[in-house]
A = this chain, B = another copy of it.
Amino acid sequence: MKDTYSIGIDFGTESGRAVLVRVRDGKEIASAIYEYSNGVIDSRLPVEEEVPLGTDWALQDPSDYLKTCYEAIPRVLEDSQVNPENIIGLGIDFTSCTMLPVDEEGSPLCWKENFKTNPHAWVKLWKHHAAQPQATKLNEIARERGEDFLQRYGGKISSEWLIPKIWQIAEEAPEIYDAADKFMEAADWVIMQLTGVEKRNISVTGYKAIWSRATGYPDREFFAALDPRMEDLVEDKLSEEIYNLGEKAGNLTPKMAEKLKLPRSVAVAVANVDSFVSVPAVTVSEPGKMVMVMGTSICHMVLDRERHFVEGMTGCIEDGILPGFYGYEAGQSAVGDIFAWFVDNCVPEEYQAEAHNQGISIHELLEKKAARLKPGESGLLALDWWNGNRSILVDADLTGLILGMTLNTSPEEIYRALIEATAFGTKKIISAFENSGVEIEELYACGGLPYKNKMLMQIYADVTGKPIKIAASEQTPALGSAMHGAVAAGKDRGGYPDIFSASENMAGLKEEEYLPAEEASSIYTKLYQEYERLHDYFGRGENDVMKRLKKIKRQYE
């Protein structure tokens, strides 16, 4: 039987990446990246007029998603030299909750002349945190009303999610709220562009839109309690038809098939979330294993047969990651982003020159220098809250902290302390799972960081005291999407009957594994105690200085 192929597209924060893989064994035949022309929009809109954005805003341009398809898919076809007729499936995954308002035709409101200078007409990226006031009020109201759904989300709805983002639009730009025919996850919007049909997926809806298979969305009274305008939100501007992962959304529209140079027969899977799609792509399909997608942020995913209440997880959704399991998600809202911030803002000229002379990146130079340090040698300790704390505190108003500086503190010491802080953050999440009866024995890593920074991975192993295995594919989410594409195509067309058989055949691990070193682990145990104490002091209301400072800061916005 001739080989079949599937394409996966991973829509990230800065770029989109397409991979073309062989269905038989998951081998990557070709890949292509498209860097979003407007990237993350966080200071001003990409329009002629000067439209500045407030603190905590993060937008995107939906055109960048289409351009990713138009540029990257033809490129992988050309590079691979695969006959397009042998491409049987296409899957996509996305950052989430990344959402936008669209009109009756599904056209983004930011494309309209009369709305393009209104920031609320644009895509709100996952890390848009300006809906924190709405999230805070939503949580208060939900607690007052005794809404059961809070339990499914670790006790708090994040400002990153759909309902707070929609509410921010309703409050700050009622004209956009009214003009929006629908609010959609960008993931589902792209699927609609590809297939012409609206098929919202269970992952984004379950994890980010307060929906569950058993109970649906919150009721009308709840939405009315938030804002009378939002009473009919679900009926008017969302949808209650929710589709399972691996289901086929449809075939390509004629126009899209032409643009992408693919046959119309390609089966397009319903969309997925970048982190969840990675779970089967790192071979994980059972409990006891935590998958970490490590990049600008970290998403942590665990499967379990039962529902437990775990503090500060961002969601626990039946069938949300793999069918037949409760899928738990937790997250750290900034990890690689913190190191990037450090490199952009805190590394002196002479280090830049040294990296240049050695022909290595500044991250590599810092890793080299920091790797010479022992745990605890710098005397530094940090709280990794540069972008708030998603798990386990679910509080976007928390901010970063570093202490222990002396006049001899070096940049590499700070860099290492920031890495350690993110590892402590992960350990805190693991502890929350374990304290709630969800066992975690091994860690599985994918995303950009595990391949870039060995020191970081060793620190994570030492801090958590757990072995870490690494996905064989560096394009794990895209591979996972291609796997879902192969499932959408189905066995008869040369794909797979379900995601488990796809995972078994298409996913793999690197031979190299990170094991915790005893001596380092024992020092990190002490440092982690200090981290925990500061975590609780600043994060659990004992001293809300970070929030009070943010309040003062907001007076200037």
Q: Which residues of chain A have a CB within 8 Å of any CB of chain B? A: 42, 55, 334, 337-338, 341, 344-349, 352, 374, 376-381, 383, 386-387, 399-411, 414, 523, 526-527, 530, 533-534, 537-538, 543, 545-546, 548-550, 552-553, 555-556
Neighbour of A386 across the interface among B347, B402, B405, B543, CB < 8 A: B405
Question: Contacts A348-B346, A374-B556, A379-B550 hold; do A403 and B399 have CB atoms under 8 A apart?
Answer: yes
Docked complex Cα distance between A363 and B545 (Å): 29
Please indicate the chain B residues that have their CB under 8 angstroms from the CB of A344 in the complex.
348
Q: Is the CB of A407 within 8 A of B337?
A: yes
Indicate the member of A399, A403, A408, A546 with the most B CB atoms within 10 Å. A403
Docked complex Cα distance between A210 and B48 (Å): 70
Q: Is the CB of A409 within 8 A of B376?
A: no
Q: Is the CB of A406 within 8 A of B386?
A: yes
Beyond the given pairs A404-B549, A537-B537, 6 more chain A to chain B contacts, judged by CB atoms under 8 angstroms and listed by A's residue number, are: A341-B409, A347-B348, A349-B349, A399-B406, A534-B545, A537-B543
Docked complex Cα distance between A231 and B401 (Å): 47
Q: Is the CB of B403 within 8 A of A546?
A: yes
The smallest beta-carbon distance between A173 and chain B, in angstroms, is 23
Please indicate the chain B residues that have their CB under 8 angstroms from the CB of A403 in the complex.
383, 399-402, 538, 545-546, 549
Please indicate the chain B residues that have their CB under 8 angstroms from the CB of A55 in the complex.
406, 408
Neighbour of A523 across the interface among B348, B378, B405, B552, CB < 8 A: B552
Q: Give 18 pairs: A residue, B residue, CB < 8 Å, sorted on A.
A: A341-B405, A344-B348, A345-B348, A345-B410, A346-B347, A346-B348, A348-B349, A374-B556, A376-B553, A377-B553, A379-B553, A380-B549, A399-B405, A400-B404, A401-B404, A403-B538, A403-B549, A404-B550
Q: Is the CB of B399 within 8 A of A404?
A: yes
Closest B residue, CB atoms, query A376: B552
Closest B residue, CB atoms, query A382: B405
Please indicate the chain B residues that have their CB under 8 angstroms from the CB of A341 in the complex.
405, 407, 409
The smallest beta-carbon distance between A343 and chain B, in angstroms, is 8
Neighbour of A345 across the interface among B383, B409, B543, CB < 8 A: B409
The smallest beta-carbon distance between A385 and chain B, in angstroms, is 8
Please indicate the chain B residues that have their CB under 8 angstroms from the CB of A550 in the complex.
379, 404
Neighbour of A549 across the interface among B42, B381, B411, CB < 8 A: B381
Please indicate the chain B residues that have their CB under 8 angstroms from the CB of A404 in the complex.
399-401, 546, 549-550
Docked complex Cα distance between A548 and B341 (Å): 28
Please indicate the chain B residues that have their CB under 8 angstroms from the CB of A387 in the complex.
406-407
The smallest beta-carbon distance between A334 and chain B, in angstroms, is 6
Q: Is the CB of B399 within 8 A of A379?
A: yes
Question: Contacts A399-B404, A405-B400, A406-B400 hold; do A552 and B527 have CB atoms under 8 A apart?
Answer: yes
Docked complex Cα distance between A524 and B550 (Å): 14
Q: Is the CB of B401 within 8 A of A401?
A: yes
Indicate the member of A345, A407, A548 with the most B CB atoms within 10 Å. A407
Docked complex Cα distance between A42 and B408 (Å): 10
Q: Is the CB of B399 within 8 A of A556?
A: no
The smallest beta-carbon distance between A408 and chain B, in angstroms, is 7
Docked complex Cα distance between A54 and B196 (Å): 69
Please indicate the chain B residues that have their CB under 8 angstroms from the CB of A348 in the complex.
344-349, 352
Please indicate the chain B residues that have their CB under 8 angstroms from the CB of A399 in the complex.
379, 403-406
Closest B residue, CB atoms, query A388: B406
Please indicate the chain B residues that have their CB under 8 angstroms from the CB of A409 in the complex.
341, 345, 386, 400
Question: Contacts A407-B387, A545-B533 hold; do A552 and B352 have CB atoms under 8 A apart?
Answer: no
Closest B residue, CB atoms, query A542: B537
Docked complex Cα distance between A344 and B346 (Å): 10
Neighbour of A402 across the interface among B379, B402, B538, CB < 8 A: B402
The smallest beta-carbon distance between A406 and chain B, in angstroms, is 6
The smallest beta-carbon distance between A216 and chain B, in angstroms, is 35
Q: Is the CB of B345 within 8 A of A377?
A: no
Docked complex Cα distance between A345 and B410 (Å): 6
Please indicate the chain B residues that have their CB under 8 angstroms from the CB of A383 in the complex.
403
Q: Is the CB of A556 within 8 A of B406?
A: no
The smallest beta-carbon distance between A524 and chain B, in angstroms, is 11
The smallest beta-carbon distance between A236 and chain B, in angstroms, is 35
Indicate the member of A352, A533, A545 with the most B CB atoms within 10 Å. A545
